[in-house]
Structure 1
């Protein structure tokens, strides 16, 4: 493996934070290394892991209590028939702990993860991005962080800034390993992407999706109306509001390229050139596009998972790449999608 990947976690975290993809589908906020964030709260961290494993995603797993965590707790409480308080109370903790999984595992970096490809700094100019082969991960730390539904800063906090990141390194990581990696009849590239995001192959099929602007979450329900999964989302803005109404899923695309059309962006001059941007986790729609029968709108991933519920979008529903992948696996063509205020 090239020597440039034999770097400390601190250097890798700084490299990830120093370059953000411009012209994201969403109106992104500046990237932040986050190295000086508050210390990890072990109780919150374990609850985040268990919520993520249960399908009630807390956003990035970082041991910090926030809005996404409270909404995830509420969703879990609703699904389990508990009092909906948003607090990590005794009954909620007991229900979560029925999954006896520890909060972290010590895992060795596999050579297949370490080989990349990694692209380093990503230019802000869409024309320059269009000339790239892939909007891939910038470095190994960014890839490992997404694979384990966390942030580079959290991996630094769990392992120490001087840890050398390379194939064979043993890291302490959030315990989000799936029970199955059998993804059925999908293309090998899509199956690899799902595996790289630690997506479970046994996710249930949903009957409908409800996106609720009032609390910033996407919910999936089964045929009986039971809530079976919930994910924090960024949806719309003052300039491009969420298109309220009832829609249908028309298709799901894994690792999609992106047709960059300036006339669809209120914050980009219409005189700018159109471009076809290559696929990749750092692309404007991340690694998933769930299309609906509203032109130019869909449910998709993001290059900046820490901005979910903390930024705005150009009308679409934006999730972390790993949550978008779970929605894609639970969705089906023709499924009802409700966008409501």
Structure 2
């Protein structure tokens, strides 16, 4: 049975803003760029400037600096407020959580960072493979060779740290999505591939598909703060260098308060699904071994803690981060989990606090 299936050559999406292409940006040139076998998104030229929504632009700047707003959607939600506070704390500003005058003045250092890009979708990215009928049951998931994205739109949303709905809103009802097509997206830059010697388990391609650079500042300590709903990373001098919105525990499975440490980092991990560890799963279910993939239960990363069965990991539902509960572990978006994986090492302290 064929498990994976690609999308048609293109699909249509609905939206409100029209991407403008330069007459010099010829379809043949776009097709040549898209067919090069690369995961890099070529920038297309626009004939008219984009409107720059201030919140969207602030989210993009924050994301590029490591103060993640979660999904980039142009909305002033709790994750955006937390990211602003993290940025403000790192730059000795009043932690208002607002895009106030002092914060805007500080962000002028990154005045050259645009809110959006107009990109050409590369054929290698559009090729998938995808799992359009992704099963809910773990036993059915265990039959898949990889737990990949359902479709191209879902993959594009993760690549640009956003949601399918936001991509729809940034484009027009007639915008086709497929290899060689032009699309307006949040400005998350491309990253270089890993050298073959460093590319275990396809991690280099995963980083490219998430727009996460392999080189990140080193974290000396992590703090998971339940009251703020965030994970903070500090360097050896105690400086805040990154902040990520997180889902952490529930009433039934509370966050394990205490000081732990990272025991290991598993990139593109297999997942050993044990129903006995989950109170909300039937005892009649059998244990399963699930293959790697961004739509697996722990996403693309598992950071193992020295507390059995607990870790920090990615998710297959990035829009729920900070808005849902977990089974006690700490969940991040896949792109934030991948970034964190490049910042830590075995022995990194992880403080869980209320």
Fold match, TM over 0.5? yes
Instruction: Give me the whole-angstrom Cα distance separating, in 2, the residues matched to 1:278 and 1:179.
Output: 25
Alignment equivalent of 1:72, drawn from 71, 83, 102: 83
Give, in angstroms, the shift of residue 128 of structure 1. 0.8
Rounded to whole Å, the distance in 1 between the matches of 2:57 and 2:218 is: 27
Q: Is the 2:272–2:290 Cα contact (8 Å) retained in structure 1? A: yes
* Alpha-carbon spacing, 1:181–1:74, altered in 2? closer, same or farther (3 Å): farther
Matched, 1:321 2:334: yes
Distance, in Å, in 2 between the alignment partners of 1:86 and 1:208 is: 23
Alignment of structure 1 residues 235-314 onto 2, 5 Å: 235-314=248-327
Q: Distance in 1 between matches of 2:218 and 2:8?
A: 42
State the secondary structure of the residue aligned to 1:295: coil
Cα deviation for residue 288 of structure 1 reads 0.7
Aligned to 2:174: 162
Name the counterpart of 2:70: 59
The offset of 1:338, in angstroms, is 0.6
Rounded Cα–Cα distance in structure 2 between residues aligned with 1:161 and 1:299: 39
Question: Residue in 2 aligned with 1:149?
Answer: 161
TM-score (norm 2): 0.85
Quick check: 1:119–1:139 contact (8 Å CA) kept in 2?
yes
Q: 1:188 to 1:278 in 2, by over 3 A?
A: closer
- Paired with 1:190 and 1:60, the residues of 2 have a C-alpha distance of 22
Greater shift after overlay, 197-206 or 328-337?
197-206
- Distance in 2 (CA, whole Å) between partners of 1:143 and 1:277 is 20
Query: Is contact 1:41-1:64 (8 Å) kept?
Result: no
The within-5 A match list for 1:47-196 is 47-99=58-110, 100-178=112-190, 181-182=193-194, 185-187=198-200, 189-196=202-209
RMSD in angstroms over aligned alpha carbons?
1.9
- For these two proteins, the number of residue pairs brought into alignment is 313
Q: Give the deviation of 1:188 after TM superposition.
A: 6.2
* Alpha-carbon distance change, 89 to 105 in structure 1, aligned in 2, over 3 angstroms: same
CA distance in 2 between partners of 1:277 and 1:286 (Å): 11
* Kept after mapping to 1: 8 A contact 2:62/2:68: yes
Moved more, 95-104 or 68-77: 95-104
Report SS of the residue matched to 1:168: coil
How far off is 1:4 after superposition?
2.3
Is residue 8 from structure 1 mapped to residue 12 from structure 2 by the alignment?
A: yes
Contact 2:302 2:312 in 1 (8 A): yes
Q: Following TM superposition, by how much is the alpha carbon of 1:201 offset from its aligned partner in structure 2, in angstroms?
A: 2.8
Aligned pair in 2 of structure 1 residues 60, 340: CA closer, same or farther (>3 Å)?
same
The runs of 5 or more residues in structure 2 that have no matched partner are 16-50
The question of whether the paired residues in 2 share the 8 Å contact of 1:207 and 1:221 is answered with yes
Contact 1:5/1:139 (CA < 8 Å) preserved in 2? Answer: no
Q: 8 Å contact 2:192–2:208 — kept in the other structure?
A: no
User: For 1:238-277, what per-residue CA distance to the aligned partner results, in whole angstroms no more than 9, with x for missing partners?
Assistant: 1110111111111111111211111111111223111111
Larger radius of gyration: 2
Summarize the Cα distance change of 1:92–1:262 in structure 2 as closer, same or farther, 3 Å threshold: same
Bigger drift between 88-97 and 235-244 goes to 88-97
**Pair 1:295–1:64, CA change in 2 (3 A):** same
How do 1:192-203 and structure 2 match up within 5 A? 192-203=205-216
Where do 5+ consecutive residues of structure 1 fail to align? 12-39
